[in-house]
Amino acid sequence: MEEVTIVVVDDHPLFRQGVVDALSLEPGFKIVGQVANGLQALVMIRDLVPQVAIVDINLPGMNGQQITHQIVQDKLPTRIVLLTAYDDHEQIIHAALAGAAAYCSKDVDPEWLIQTVKAVIKGKYVIEDRVFSQKEFERWLADEMEKVRKQYSELGSSFHPLSEREAEVLTCVVKGMSNKEIASSLSISHQTVKNHVTSILRKFGVEDRTQAVVYALKRGWINLYDKSSQHQE
């Protein structure tokens, strides 16, 4: 049977080594790399293209969600398992929108982490202690975003601070399109797309594209239902 190749990314050496040790004991698993920095992790994943990358959300250089989004944009086959020290439901939504295959607490039982890796290799999605098929996952995500939208509906209005072109760019972002793809779709330059994305982040007061999507979804300015392509295999 072919070995499952795994990269482990965490900036806490003892925790990272514990994950490496636990997974190394599982027959058929092979740790091919480990690293502490987000930017170095992205380089390693692009170079080694492991089947699974287990990535801490909070990292120096580049956070786990940003790494996940970039791997999805690069169309690499690596499945991302995000680990977090914080029980934050909104962070789960961020992870799902970024394209993570799994989201687990850092106090996860080693056996469940092993089962999570086995599940994502088979194309499944794992959110804490629940395992979904792709269709089930997309329905779950749509339902969760509808709950968020209703929760924040009293804050919203039809007004939003984006120009018409920025709104078009954001709609493309929610579909998981890269800047190059957005430029082609809207017949504008790559630099113009970058400028619009920067403006959107500034207006929303957020740090990355995933946070911008969540911010706009909460207020009903865009919808999730055209975005299922981001979770395609």
Where in the chain do CATH 3.40.50.2300 domains reside? 4-132
Looking at the predicted structure, is the pLDDT value of residue 230 above 60?
A: no
pLDDT surpasses 70 at 151: no
**Mean pLDDT value of segment 183-206:** 91
Is residue 9 within 8 Å of 56, Cβ to Cβ? Answer: yes
Q: Quick one: pLDDT band at residue 227, thresholds 50, 70, 90?
A: very low
Alpha-helical regions (H) of the chain: 13-24, 38-48, 64-73, 89-98, 110-121, 134-151, 164-174, 179-186, 190-204, 209-218
Which residues make up the CATH 1.10.10.10 domain(s) of the chain? 156-231
Domain 4-132, CATH homologous superfamily name and number: Response regulator (3.40.50.2300)
State the pLDDT at residue 40. 95
Residue 231 confidence (pLDDT): 39
pLDDT for 63? 87
156 C-beta neighbours (distance < 10 Å), count: 13
List the strands of the sheet with 29-35, edge to edge.
29-35, 4-9, 52-56, 79-84, 102-105, 125-127, 130-132
Instruction: Return the higher-pLDDT residue of 88 and 39.
Output: 39
Q: Which residue has the tokens 């601070």?
A: 161
Q: Is the pLDDT of residue 20 over 70?
A: yes
pLDDT category of residue 188 using cuts at 50, 70 and 90: very high
Q: How far apart are CA 122 and CA 155, in angstroms?
A: 41
Q: Residue 58 — very low, low, confident or very high, per pLDDT cuts 50/70/90? A: confident
- Please give the average per-residue pLDDT across 26-39, as a whole number: 95
Average pLDDT, the chain: 86
Residue 36 phi, psi dihedral angles, 5° rounding: -110, -15
Tokens representing residue 68 in the block? 């996940």
Burial (Cβ within 10 Å: 0-12, 13-18, ≥19) of residue 206 = middle
Pick the CATH number of 156-231 from 3.30.2350.10, 3.40.50.150, 1.10.10.10, 3.40.250.10: 1.10.10.10
| pLDDT band for position 155 (cuts 50, 70, 90) | very low
> Is the pLDDT score of 5 beyond 90?
yes
CA separation, residue 103 to residues 67, 128, 176, 190 (Å): 14, 6, 19, 32
Chain Cα centroid distance, residue 80: 8
Q: 36, 35, 97, 43: which is closest to 65 by C-alpha?
A: 97
Instruction: Kindly state the helix (H) or strand (E) to which residue 62 belongs, with its residue range.
Output: none
The proportion of the chain whose per-residue pLDDT surpasses 90, expressed as a percent, equals 51
Provide the pLDDT confidence category of residue 87 given band limits of 50, 70 and 90: low
Work out the number of other CB atoms within 10 angstroms of the CB of residue 160.
17
Give the residue-averaged pLDDT of 8-31.
95
Q: Mean pLDDT, to the nearest integer, of 29-48?
A: 96
